[in-house]
Amino acid sequence: MTAESNPRWVRQPVSSDRPLLVHVNTTSTGGGVAELLHRLIPAQRDDGTAVGWAVVSGNPEFFALTKTLHHLLHGKGDPAPLHGTEAGTLYRSVLRPQGHWLAGQLRQGDTVALHDPQTLGLAPALAARGIRVLWHCHIGTTDGSATKPDHVWRFLAPEFDDVDVVLATRAEFGPPGFSRRRHVVTPAIDPDSPKNRPLTTAEVDALLTGIGLVGMAGGDDSSATVDQVGPMPRNAPMVLQVSRWDPLKDMRGVLRCLPGLPQDAHLILAGPDPHEVTDDPEGAVILAEVRAAYRDLPETERRRVHLVTLSMRDPQRNALLINALQRRADVVLQKSLEEGFGLTVTEAMHKYRPVVASAVGGLALQVVDGETGLLVDPTDYAGVAAAVRRLLVDRDLSRRLGSQAAAEVARRYHISRLVADYRLVIGQPQT
Ligand code: UDP
């Protein structure tokens, strides 16, 4: 086993007499799980848990395979790559040695939380050493007719024998036949983080002027690149979608809603620089497709669209820019085709933004239609545009939904609740 194939500590647990909890995922930057762990781990430490965070390594073939698993769990994509023995051999040859390495760092009685299917292959090596394994599943589909997740459950069946508890965002997510303990645990945000802390109007303006999105073109902040005909007028109504460049986020579909928006509204599509994200091989391809669709727009529409690509190299800066975009937006859209749970939606709701979200997966749980936002059918472009237009026009409705949304987030989706959920699960004896 070479050193490069070992997991990497993002936060090494401080050695302690108490049992350790170690979270494992595939990346420390980009995407909702990384975002969540950046806030959950310090909060768990403050709560008295001895906690660490490791990320697994993998080669491009491995991450292409795990992306297939990800899409299939959402009920999408082609299961063909899972047929035969090759995929299983690749998956286990990458993860089993890393499981042994991690087991060697821990003691019997410690707990490892494996996040999503990319890391589940560590389970056998950990369980063999008496380490308790939680599998935390952030993705899934609520489309009862989708059979594609079954391919993943069959593929991962050997690993589930070594899992003690499954945590999932919705009761429908996770392996159907799992007979040990399951808990429904929804993600959460940290209201005090750079991404969510209050910003003044002047701070928002300075951040967005800095990247050249408003004011003068070509601001001096190189932590974002903006594809645009020219900056957005300062007072223009702004519609925002923040997402990774992933087919299920349907950024191209958002562009197709543009003709149904008011003529003065500007649409901002913002996502991470895909060249900096190692575990998402599709990102660069999808961004190129979105850019091509943007270039094909008629000039009258193109001048109202701004594609913002954000560098993740300075995570603090990245978080502040997302915070500023969300606070400046008049409507925040999440037109995903499937979504386990959209942290971007909870972040926007926390900021009193009216949201329009697809009535799929976790989004349908996060947003109460007509109370804390509007739910739409993501395949109905005119319907999505009409919902956004309604909120841009009816400011009283926007204000009401926004303030109910913020109250709902404070009640259900703050990080302290997730810390308590984990405490409860870990505190319970193994069955
Ligand atoms: N995000 C970010 N920078 C970006 C784009 C997204 O920090 O350029 C964050 C976003 O604010 C959110 C997370 O990445 O916290 C995405 O989580 P979500 O649950 O919405 O989707 P996922 O990427 O996990 O599918």
Lookup result for tokens 């950990």: 126
- ipTM, interface predicted TM-score of the complex: 0.99
In this structure, are residues 9 and 25 in contact, taking their beta carbons and an 8 Å threshold? no
Q: What would the pLDDT profile of 345-371 be if each residue is shown by its tens digit?
A: 999 999 999 999 999 999 999 999 999
Ligand 1 close to Cβ of residue 242 (< 6 A): yes
Given ligand 1 and candidates 36, 118, 244, which is best to mutate, with the most ligand atoms within 8 Å of its CB?
244
Q: What would the pLDDT profile of 179-218 be if each residue is shown by its tens digit?
A: 899 999 999 999 999 999 999 999 999 999 999 999 876 6
pLDDT at residue 216 in the model = 75
- Chain centroid to Cα 254, Å, comes to 18
In this prediction, residues 379-383 reach a mean pLDDT of 98
Centre of ligand 1 to C-alpha 343, Å, is: 7
Ligand 1 close to Cβ of residue 344 (< 6 A): yes
Q: What would the pLDDT profile of 214-245 be if each residue is shown by its tens digit?
A: 987 667 888 999 999 999 999 999 999 999 99
Centre of ligand 1 to C-alpha 105, Å, is: 30
Closest-lying ligand 1 atom to the alpha carbon of residue 344: 20
Q: What would the pLDDT profile of 87-107 be if each residue is shown by its tens digit?
A: 999 999 999 999 999 999 999
Closest-lying ligand 1 atom to the alpha carbon of residue 35: 15
Ligand 1 close to Cβ of residue 32 (< 6 A): yes
Closest-lying ligand 1 atom to the alpha carbon of residue 31: 23
Residue 376, CA atoms < 13 Å, CB-side half-sphere: 26
Centre of ligand 1 to C-alpha 36, Å, is: 10
In this structure, are residues 339 and 333 in contact, taking their beta carbons and an 8 Å threshold? no
Q: Is the pLDDT of residue 2 over 70?
A: no
pLDDT band for 277, please (50, 70, 90 cuts): confident
- Which residue has a Cα nearest atom 23 of ligand 1? 31
Centre of ligand 1 to C-alpha 428, Å, is: 31
Q: Is the pLDDT of residue 379 over 60?
A: yes
Q: Of 320, 325, 340, 391, nearest to 185 (Cα)?
A: 340
Sorted by sequence, the CB contacts under 8 Å of residue 17 that are 6+ apart come out as none
Percent of the chain with pLDDT over 70: 98
Q: Is the pLDDT of residue 1 over 70?
A: no
Centre of ligand 1 to C-alpha 334, Å, is: 11
Given ligand 1 and candidates 196, 280, 343, which is best to mutate, with the most ligand atoms within 8 Å of its CB?
343
The model's pTM is 0.94
* HEC assignment per residue over 288-341: HHHHHHHHCCCHHHHCCEEEEEECCCCHHHHHHHHHHHHHHCCEEEECCCCCCC
Question: pLDDT higher for 415 or 14?
Answer: 415
Q: What would the pLDDT profile of 97-137 be if each residue is shown by its tens digit?
A: 999 999 999 999 999 999 999 999 999 999 999 999 999 99
Given ligand 1 and candidates 248, 322, 349, which is best to mutate, with the most ligand atoms within 8 Å of its CB?
322
Centre of ligand 1 to C-alpha 244, Å, is: 6
pLDDT band for 428, please (50, 70, 90 cuts): low
Q: Is the pLDDT of residue 157 over 80?
A: yes
In this prediction, residues 147-168 reach a mean pLDDT of 96
Centre of ligand 1 to C-alpha 259, Å, is: 26
Q: What would the pLDDT profile of 308-346 be if each residue is shown by its tens digit?
A: 999 999 999 999 999 999 999 999 999 999 999 999 999
Q: Is the pLDDT of residue 62 over 60?
A: yes
